[in-house]
Amino acid sequence: MPVVITRRDAGAFEAAVGPLYPALIRRLTLVLGDAAAAEDVAQDAYLRAFESWERFDGADVRAWLYTIALRLAFNEQRRHRRWLAAVRRLEPRPWRDSLDPDLQAALGRLEIRTRTALLLSAVDGYTQREIATMLSVPEGTVASWISRGRAALRLDLDDHDRRRGVPDQPPARERQGIATPGAVSRRGPAPPR
């Protein structure tokens, strides 16, 4: 539900943007794969958002904040990767999910923009048009990213399940809605390791 902003002051900023901060950190952690980098970008985005608060059009504050943060994240990713690679003994702070590690790993293997578009669609429910606006790309590109992202995730997860001998594998085409639209897998998260 979009938050409509009527008061352009710090109190309104905190009220509208503050509650989104935890979700922003979580989103950036998945996008960047590193909690420390996510916190850095989130903080930067938060302060930039505050600075440009008077220019916010009052429509969808989450989309507005995410747009600022994700663009910062894309810029940060390449520099950050070089830096970490150069100082291999300095460990980043990667987050490991114990409940669904296969999904986390599969998400991490997607290209960053594909992963981002998929998250905006799957978790937030943004339309392709909205995501296209947020990421400054054509709508068709977003559609392609989301479609390929879902397919790659499914194939990746199926490979993991096959290696573990998990039964009940509907054909991939079914799960992608190609042969029988609407068919979905009923498997839940992988068991803790």
Residues that bind another protein (CB under 8 A): 9-11, 13-14, 17-18, 21-22, 25-27, 29-30, 35, 39-40, 42-43, 46-47, 50-51, 79, 81-83, 85-90, 95, 97, 99-100, 103-104, 107, 118-119, 121-123, 128, 143, 146-147, 150, 153-154, 175-178, 181-182, 184-189
Which of the 8 DSSP states describes residue 19?
G
Could you give the CA distance from residue 93 to residue 91 in angstroms, rounded to a whole number? 6
Q: How far is the CB of 57 from another protein (least distance, A)?
A: 19
- Pick between residue 67 and residue 131 the one whose CB is nearest to another protein: 131
Q: How far is the CB of 110 from another protein (least distance, A)?
A: 11
Q: Which two tokens stand for residue 162?
A: 């096959």
Sequence-distant (6+) residues with CB within 8 A of 5 are 12, 16, 56, 58, 61
- Pick between residue 133 and residue 185 the one whose CB is nearest to another protein: 185
Q: How far is the CB of 10 from another protein (least distance, A)?
A: 5
Report how far apart, in Å, the C-alpha atoms of 158 and of each of 112, 116, 145, 167, 192 are. Answer: 21, 22, 20, 10, 17
Burial class of residue 156 in the structure, from the number of CB atoms within 10 Å of its CB (0-12 exposed, 13-18 middle, 19+ buried): middle
- Pick between residue 71 and residue 100 the one whose CB is nearest to another protein: 100
